[in-house]
Amino acid sequence: MNQEQAATALIEKQLERLKLLQQLLVEEQQVLSERKFEELAAIPPRKTALLQELQLGDQALGKHKLDTEAFRTGAIKAKSQLKLCKQLNETNGRMIALAMTSISRLQNAMVKAGQQSTMTYTAQGGASGIGSSGNVVSV
């Protein structure tokens, strides 16, 4: 295999990896929109592995200084695919941030509701709860 064929094969492999990354990002988006957060934890390790493979592929491609039509065409496709993956990833990041905000608001509401519901009254009519010592003061 000559250098041109090797470079073309590397570009094709990068395009395959980018396609897998795009599919994974679409899957992540679907999981987020369906709020299946238990499935979300499995995605980042897969995404990281693909990104590492892409980085290694880029390093291998950097060793080839070719200026052929096939190489340029593959590089243009790869850049376009990478741009799409970046857009999907940014969208997913915003969705994750919104989900985290919603979860935080829900947690705060639950904490407030829990604090309010711990208020009870003693037999003498005094308030007893988290914020109270439980001592009844008579006047």
35: alpha, beta or left? (left if phi > 0; alpha if psi -120 to 50): left
Beta-bridge partner residues of 128: 120
- The rounded Cα 76 to chain-centroid distance in angstroms is 27
Look up the pTM and report it: 0.72
pLDDT tens over the chain, length 139 residues: 688 888 888 999 999 999 999 999 999 999 999 988 889 899 999 999 999 999 999 999 888 877 788 888 888 999 999 999 999 999 999 998 988 888 888 888 888 876 665 556 677 777 665 554 545 555 5
Would you tell me how many other CB atoms lie within 10 Å of the CB of residue 134? 10
Would you tell me how many other CB atoms lie within 10 Å of the CB of residue 80? 12
Concatenating the DSSP letter of every residue in 12-46 gives HHHHHHHHHHHHHHHHHHHHHHTT-HHHHTTHHHH
**At what angle are helices 69-117 and 3-33 packed, to 10 degrees?**
20
Q: How far apart are CA 122 and CA 137, in angstroms?
A: 11
CATH (one of 1.20.58.300, 3.30.200.20, 2.40.110.10, 1.10.580.10) for 3-118? 1.20.58.300
Q: Coil, strand, or helix at residue 107?
A: helix
